Chains A and B, each alone.
Chain A
Amino acid sequence: MQVGVLALQGAFAAHSDCLTSIGVQSIEVRNTEQLSSVDALLMPGGESSTMSQLLESSGLFDPIATRIADGMPVFGTCAGMILLASEILDGRSDQRSFSAIDISVRRNAFGRQVDSFEATINSSVGDFHGVFIRAPRIERVGDQVEVLGSINDEPVLVRQGNVLAASFHPELSNDARLHEYFVSITANKKKV
């Protein structure tokens, strides 16, 4: 199994380190050739508007959309979650997303960097130490979406089929359990 980490901009290196720590091979994805060699894709945090533009200029947007529609597992954290959401609030008007998971997210809704925080997340996958950096908020969750983790009764970790999304940064807390969970989704899918 090969997991790709979208490496256009953002915290891709930290995600690769997490995958390495659990013995999973990963490659950085910056073009369509690299995309075609992966079974699953991780979309890191960073700036969603920067990534949107680089998705267009690198010609990756449509091929990724097709792969997601064909069932490729994807895991988006922070900006990656914004890219996967069906609705972006407070984003740039020209910002496109993959609409892969039926949630509405508000960009930077937890505030500026001065408000960035770390806190414990209670989740059905386990309790996590979550790091929130200028984090987006999940303001609406569709019927098909399962809420896996919350903080103060607010959803922060959600899943719809093969699409996993988190508003926080599991790659920043030396804890690869969510990466393991994502890899297990990919492994189960391969068996089918």
Chain B
Amino acid sequence: MGQEHEGINIFIMGKKYKVPDSLTIMNAMEYAGYQLVRGCGCRAGFCGACATIYRLKGDYDLKVGLACQTKVEPEMYLTQLPFFPAQKSEYNIQELKATAEQISQFYPEIFRCIGCNACTKICPQDLKVMQYIGYAQRGQIDRCADESFDCVMCGLCASRCPAQIVHYNVGILARRLFSRHLTPPAQHLQNRVEEIESGAFDKEINELMSADLIELKRRYNERDMEA
């Protein structure tokens, strides 16, 4: 610990704790004594496990953040939302078509969007969530894929949606449709797989495997480097 920290009061699920003001919400919960099981994952803003809802004293406005990426504030009332019982459709991506009809077949509720923008306002990744649902409605799957790309699937958008849309499941479907059906496969990759399967590299690899250490070192140190 060592250095001095200013103590502030926060309320974890209504219970008051005094914590240093420099901490993230996650570290503050642990400082308060919580051994986290749910609501904690990568601790670096990638996994979406630690969605947290809070408000500040005297303010009705609900705010959100990832607990590992948000600093505590004085008089913060918080709770985590570590799980959301969202519906996910099951599909075989190979058999699908990259169209609005296809998405609406699995997620017809996207057309019930009332344009309230609550999803965008709540997104801890600052994504334009309502916008990407709009792209999905119009079959602009490339734009939906692009706009939803940074989604960590924390579930906060779905928790706020009056139309009960599960935005992040629409996003992953759009990204997979875009990548599988609207993007050309890499020809060089296909060629290389065929070469490998035909044994084109077996001799070269086996030669390296049987090379002695001196030879291997020589070849490594004399590699030509792509600029």
Chains A and B come from one and the same complex: no
Which B residues have a C-beta under 8 Å from some C-beta of A? none
